[in-house]
A and B are shown apart, each in its own frame.
Chain A
C-alpha cells in the first residue's frame, strides 16, 4: 500500500489531486462522472460579494492545445452561495475550498469573513490573479504592495487555511510569492491563466467579447512548471501546482518541481474523469519507482 496523503497547512488531503476553480462548478456538476469524495480537495467557483453576470458571449476560444476564457467571475455571490449552494456540498467527504474574489479589499474581506463562518469549508483560495475582470482580480496580484495589502487584511479576518493563487502575468513570480507569504499566506497555488488573445482572421476581429482572456490547458504547462519550481526555491510554504495537467505524469512533474498537491482544470472539460484517472496513475508510478510515500516526490527533482 502506497501513501498518497499530503498536507497543505492544516488541510489533510487523501491524495494530491484537487480541482481548479472555475473548471469544476461547485462539484455536483461532476457527480454523474466521478465520486467527488475520492479527490484530495475541490476548489469551487470564484465567489464575490455580490452576484456577477460575468462577461458577454463569446467567452471562449479554442487555441492549439489550450483555450482562452473570459468568463469574468460569473457567480451567484457569497450570500446565495451560503444559503443555496453550501448545503448541497458541505457533506462531501473531501476538502471543499472556496475561491474568494473581489474588486476591492473590502469585498475580499466580506467574502472571506462570511466563508470563515462555514464549518465545513476548511480553507479558501484567495484569487488575486483573475485576468478577466476590469477591477480587482489580477490588479491585486501583479504588484507587490497591493498583493501584500489584500493578503494582510484577509489574514486578519480569515482564521483557517489561507491559500493565495498567483498570477503568471508578472515579471518575477518569486517576488510576489515572498510578499504574500510574509503577509500571512499558509500556502500558494499557481498558476492562474496567462493573459492571451485570439483573432478570427476571416472576420478580422477578436474572438472574445473582451478581446483578451486567460489561456489554460496543456499549452501553458511548461510555463507553470517553471514558475512552481522557481517559487519552490523561494518560499517555504506548501505549493499547489496547476497549469495544463491532464495525466498522472503531469502531476508527478509538478510534484518533482516542488508542488505538494495539484489542481486539475481545463482537462476536466475534456475528460470529466481525468482526476480519478490521475490518482490511479500516481499509484502506478509510485509502484513502478518503488516510492512508498508520495511526499518523497515533492521537490525531488534531481539536478
Chain B
C-alpha cells in the first residue's frame, strides 16, 4: 500500500560534483519496498518545484529503519535536495511502481551506469538475501563517478568500467569482458542508466536470448497513475512508467 510519510534527514553524503546520497529516517516503520521501486519526494521552497521528484530507492536498512536515495543534481529540485542537512524534514510518497524480478540464480548481471547505479544496490541486496551472489557491473565517465564499491561487493562480484580508464576497465560497460562473452551463462540481465547503455545491454541480451529488465526514467507529475504524463511506447500501447514500470522487460518495449 502506498503511503505518505514524513522523514528526517540522517545524513547527506556528497559523492562527486553531481551525485549525492540521502539517508532518511521515517516517523514510523518503513513499508515493504521491492527492489526497483521509487519514491516521490516533495521539494518545498521554490515556485519552480511545485511537483514532487521521482527518485529510485537506492537501499533500505530495515534494522535501522533507514531509506537511502541516490540522487543526481539535474535542476532546481534536486539541487535543493543536495543542500539538505541532518535533521531537515522531507515528505515522501512510497513505495511506487513495480520492481525487478528477483532471480533464482547467481548467474544474473546487474548493470548500472552513472545515476543508473541508483536501484542496483538494493537489487543486489535483495538477490543476496536469497543466498545468491550476482554479477554487478558499474560504469561511469571517470573514477569519481564510482563510489561505495564495498557495499556492492558485500552482495556480489563487482566490476567497474570508466570511459577514461581511471578505474577498472577502460571503456563503456558494453566493452567489459562480461559482456563480450561468446557463450554467456547469464539467466537475466538488469540495466539502469543512459538509454544508449541500456540499449547496449539489451543488444547483448537479444544476441544471446537472455531476458533484460530495464528501469526507465520519465518526467511525471504524480507517480501513482493519475496524471498519465509518463508514457512509454510498448507493445501494448502507451503504458505508464510510474505504474506499469519503472521496470520493463525490454521485450515489451519498442527497442
Contact = CB atoms under 8 A, between A and B. Distances in A.
A290 interface: no
B226 A30 contact: yes
A217 B50 contact: yes
Contact of B228 (A30, A54, A270): A54
Given A74-B238, A270-B51, A273-B4, A23 B219 contact: no
A25 B51 CA distance: 17
Contacts of B232: 57
Contacts of B93: 272
Contacts of A271: 4
The interface size bin for chain B is 20 to 34
Nearest to B77: A62
B226 A74 contact: no
B42 A270 contact: yes
Given A32-B2, A32-B3, A269-B227, A53 B47 contact: no
Chain B binding surface, main DSSP class: loop
A232 B121 CA distance: 57
Contact of A272 (B4, B48, B218, B229): B4
Interface string A242-270: 00000000000000000000000010111
Contacts of B51: 62, 67, 269-270
A60 B224 contact: no
A60 B238 contact: no
Contacts, number: 88
A58 B241 CA distance: 12
Contact of B231 (A22, A54, A61): A54
B229 A60 contact: yes
A60 B220 contact: yes
B165 interface: no
Nearest to A59: B229
A123 B238 CA distance: 29
B48 A269 contact: no
B50 A53 contact: no
A277 B143 CA distance: 48
B6 to A, nearest CB: 13
Contact of B225 (A25, A33, A57, A270): A25
Contacts of B221: 60, 62, 67, 69, 266, 269
Interface in A17-37: 22-25, 29-30, 32-33
Interface of A: 22-25, 29-30, 32-33, 45, 53-54, 56-62, 64-67, 69, 71, 74, 217-218, 266, 268-273
12 contacts: A24-B226, A32-B1, A53-B238, A54-B231, A57-B229, A60-B227, A60-B230, A61-B219, A65-B50, A69-B221, A74-B238, A272-B224
Interface of B: 1-4, 42, 47-52, 93, 218-222, 224-233, 237-238
